[in-house]
Structure formats: C-alpha cells, structure tokens
C-alpha cells in the first residue's frame, strides 16, 4: 500500500475512534480513555520533529474541535511529539532504528513498545489532566484520574493496534 | 546578528514547540471564559453534522426512558387543560385576562453531544441562531436546570452546563429563601455545591433548591436539586452545602431553551443603577 495513504488512514481512524467513541464513553471515577497518542508511535521513524509536531497539532486540533476542549488535546499531543525523539533515544535498540519503518508492536517487539509507549502515555496523561484541572489543591484528583485512565488507555491502544495495523509476514 | 540566527537555528525545534504550546493553551484558557470562533466548537457546521449523524444512530438507546418522561410531563400539562375541569358556573362572561402577561417562552431542543466527566462539560444542541437562540439564554429539562447557552452557530448551539467550573447560577432554598451561587467541583456529575450561605441558619436535609431567577436567565422556581449535607467552611461563617442534582446529566436528551421576553426591560432598568466608584 502507498505509505502516505497508510499513515493518513491511521490519522483519520485514530481521530474518529477518539472523538466518536471514546470521548462519548463516561466511565466515572474520572476515567478518560485516550488512544490517539498511538499515532505518534505509528508514524515513521525518519520523520523530523518539526513536521511531526505539525501533524500532532492537526490531530489535536481536530479532536478538540469535536469534543469542546478548545486546545487541551492539542497541547498534550504537541508536547508528546516534542518528547518523542528524546524517548526514542533513551530506548534505542543496539543497531538503531534504520531497519524499521515505524514503531508498531509487531515490528519492534513487546518490550520496546511497553517501555516507549508506556512512558509516552504517562507524560501525556499527566500533562492532560494537570492542564484540565489546573489547581494544586486537587493534586490527588489529578493523580487518581491519571492512574486510573493509564492502564485502560494502554490496553485499548493494544486492541486498536490489533485492529488497524497489519502483522508483517514472516521473513 | 549572526549569533541570533545561529541561536534560532539551534533551538528552532524548541521554539516551534513553544509557539504551538502557547497557541493551544491560550485558546484553552481563554475559551473557557469567552468563546470567539464557532469552528473550534461542536457548534461548527462540520462538527455539528457529524454529531447529528451520531445522534441519529444512538438516539434509540434511551428511547423507552425518554418516552416515559415525555408521557409524565404530558399528563401534568393535560391536567391543567380546560377540558379536565368541570365548569361550576355557566353564566360568567369571558374577558381578556390582563393580570398575566407571558414572560418566558420555551423552545424544545435535543442534546446531540454531551460529556460529564471532564472538568468543564459542554452540551451540543440541535437548534441555533436561526431558531432564535442567543448567547446567555437558560437551558433546562423537565427535571432541573441544565446550563446557559455559551456559543451559537446558525443551526447548532453549545451549552455551558451546570457541570463547569464557573457556572454560578443563582439558586435559593425553596422554603427558607436563602440564596447562593451554584458551583461544581469537577468530581461527581450527581452532586454540586452552593456557596455563600451563612451558617446562622439551620438547613434541613432534603430541602428543595430552586433557581432564584435574579439575572433573568431562568424563571424563579425551576428545580435544581436537594440539599444532601452541610459542612462548615473553615474560618468563615458560611455553610458549604452539598447538593444532589435532580437531573441526571449522564442520560440527558430532551431540553428546553428559555427565551425571556422581558430581559431587555430588566437589563435597561438595572443599567441605571449607578456604579460604585472607587474612592
């Protein structure tokens, strides 16, 4: 498949999953499911940080416009796009990323994915809920929201990946 | 000059990052107070269409319950219909009643999209400025207040719901007449609080709380909820009243928008109050 088309489809699919399904779910206890950070992992490794931040901005903007959050999603996803090269460098495999297309779990292995995507989600959720509540006295509420949403978002991201990312054929 | 250019080249990623962050966060924090553009909210044309399609798909999930509620309300109204009264005197002359003049009109609307778990929750309605909706009108359902219109496009509107930080609707205890402002702390969509009630009055549990109607947005006496418990505010002679909303905002579908026909008159009169000048 054309690479550009493939990544555009992932962009659109994640945006609509987030706005039309996940943002409509109200689970209580402050849980909010967010899988759109997955896009950053599913974009190619050789993309530069500035275009990456541009794509992230567009994605966040689209989600914000459809869920009345006015820039909250944009802010957290742009932060994550900025952090991506730093996190990638921390967990780089021995031979670098040259032989890989993008960071999906089938290509990079479970261990790498758990570490990289896990730390990305932690940063994203913390920033998101801190900005949403924006009050020091509600620190424990921010923590509660983050810690409850994190595992669920992570599991859901695995499921979304199983749905939308094709397993590479055995070589 | 060369140094400056070198600096920008070296830190260009960080600078672009900062610019994007400022853009995103400034819209977030200003939009909570002053909405400007419609295309950023679900009142926008494209988003509205998407929400409408989604509502068409999911509206049947609550159909039985919604029908029940509508039927109950119909019964209430039918009981007030002249047909349900027996005439006791036949020879009265009918005259035009000038004692009452209509002040509030109600426009029915449907909630297309809503959230309850965020810090600030907004609801999208399927009517807009074409139907006569303006910013600042009140919204309520058959069980209680819902919010205030925040942003309007030709065919859709966004309601700033009771479940937001600065909603500040003026409410009062029904039989005591005490009044305060409605607040929401962002945790439980079933419970809110009332601030500004002095603690020299004992407040019974399950006292009914209704709107005060001071600002002319809501008529007086719309239900809001009941008092669940009162806590003392530390260091101030005030009660922090915890309120159980009478409406369950998690399954809200049918609402009414309030049009106050005498709002202009009230505003005009109140604008003549001289403003206190700082000495």
Instruction: Give the tens place of pLDDT for each residue, A153-171.
Output: 999 999 988 888 777 665 5
**Residue located via tokens 């940080």:** A49
Whether B157 contacts chain A with CB within 8 A:
no
Percent over 90 (pLDDT), chain B: 4
- CB proximity list for A95: less than 8 A, separation 6 or greater: none
Whether A31 contacts chain B with CB within 8 A:
yes
Chain A (84-113) residues lying within 8 Å, Cβ to Cβ, of chain B: none
Q: How far apart are CA B62 and CA B232, in angstroms?
A: 40
Q: How far apart are CA A69 and CA A22, in angstroms?
A: 14
State the average pLDDT over residues A116-135.
90
pLDDT, residue B11, reads 84
State the average pLDDT over residues B170-176.
85
Whether B203 contacts chain A with CB within 8 A:
no
Whether A20 contacts chain B with CB within 8 A:
yes
What single DSSP character describes residue B276? P
Cross-chain CB nearest to B119 (options A71, A79, A132): A132
Whether A52 contacts chain B with CB within 8 A:
no
In 3-state terms, what secondary structure has residue A125? helix
In 3-state terms, what secondary structure has residue B219? coil
Cross-chain CB nearest to A79 (options B21, B39, B51): B21
Chain A residues whose beta carbon lies within 8 Å of the beta carbon of residue B57: none
Cross-chain CB nearest to B24 (options A30, A49, A71): A71
- CB proximity list for A33: less than 8 A, separation 6 or greater: A22, A25, A27, A149, A152, A153, A156
pTM for this entry: 0.75
pLDDT, residue A153, reads 92
Furthest-apart CA pair in chain A: how many Å?
Answer: 55
* Beta strand ranges found along chain B (DSSP E): 104-114, 122-125, 138-140, 145-152, 157-161, 170-173, 179-183, 191-198, 208-211, 223-232, 238-245, 254-260
Whether B152 contacts chain A with CB within 8 A:
no
Confidence category of residue B168, pLDDT binned at 50, 70, 90: confident
Higher pLDDT, B41 or B157: B157
Does residue B26 surpass a pLDDT of 90? Answer: no
Chain A residues whose beta carbon lies within 8 Å of the beta carbon of residue B25: 71, 75, 131
Which pair of tokens denotes residue B193?
């609080």
């Amino acid at each position: 498949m054309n690479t550009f088309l493939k990544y555009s489809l992932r962009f659109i699919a994640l945006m609509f999953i987030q706005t039309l399904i996940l943002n409509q779910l109200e689970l209580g206890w402050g849980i909010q499911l967010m899988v759109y950070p997955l896009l950053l992992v599913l974009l190619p490794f050789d993309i530069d940080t500035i275009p990456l931040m541009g794509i992230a901005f567009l994605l966040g903007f689209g989600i914000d416009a459809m869920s009345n959050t006015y820039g909250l999603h944009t802010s957290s996803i742009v932060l994550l796009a900025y952090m991506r090269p730093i996190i990638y460098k921390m967990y780089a495999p021995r031979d670098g990323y040259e032989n890989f297309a993008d960071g999906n779990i089938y290509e990079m292995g479970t261990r790498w994915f758990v570490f990289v995507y896990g730390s990305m989600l932690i940063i994203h959720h913390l920033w998101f809920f801190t900005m949403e509540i924006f009050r020091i006295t509600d620190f424990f509420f921010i923590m509660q929201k983050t810690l409850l949403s994190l595992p669920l978002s992570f599991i859901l991201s695995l499921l979304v990946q199983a749905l939308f990312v094709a397993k590479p054929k055995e070589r | 000059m060369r140094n400056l250019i070198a600096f920008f080249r070296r830190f260009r990623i960080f600078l672009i990052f900062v610019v994007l962050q400022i853009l995103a966060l400034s819209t977030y924090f200003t939009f909570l107070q002053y909405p400007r553009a419609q295309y950023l909210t679900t009142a926008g044309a494209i988003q509205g269409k998407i929400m409408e399609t989604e509502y068409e798909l999911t509206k049947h999930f609550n159909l039985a319950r919604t029908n029940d509620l509508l039927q109950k309300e119909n019964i209430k109204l039918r009981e007030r219909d002249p047909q349900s009264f027996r005439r006791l005197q036949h020879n009265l002359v009918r005259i035009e009643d000038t004692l009452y003049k209509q002040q509030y009109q109600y426009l029915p609307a449907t909630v297309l999209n809503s959230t309850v778990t965020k810090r600030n929750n907004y609801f999208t309605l399927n009517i807009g400025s074409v139907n006569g909706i303006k910013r600042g009108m009140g919204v309520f359902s058959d069980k209680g207040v819902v919010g205030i219109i925040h942003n309007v496009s030709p065919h859709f509107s966004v309601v700033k719901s009771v479940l937001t930080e600065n909603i500040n609707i003026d409410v009062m205890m029904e039989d005591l007449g005490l009044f305060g402002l409605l607040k929401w702390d962002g945790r439980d969509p079933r419970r809110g609080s009332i601030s500004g009630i002095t603690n020299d009055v004992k407040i019974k549990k399950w006292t009914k709380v209704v709107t005060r109607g001071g600002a002319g947005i809501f008529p007086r006496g719309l239900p809001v909820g009941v008092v669940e418990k009162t806590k003392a505010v530390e260091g101030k002679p005030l009660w922090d009243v915890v309120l159980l909303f009478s409406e369950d905002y998690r399954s809200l579908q049918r609402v009414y928008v309030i049009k106050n026909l005498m709002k202009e008159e009230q505003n005009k009169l109140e604008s003549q109050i001289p403003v206190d000048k700082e000495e």
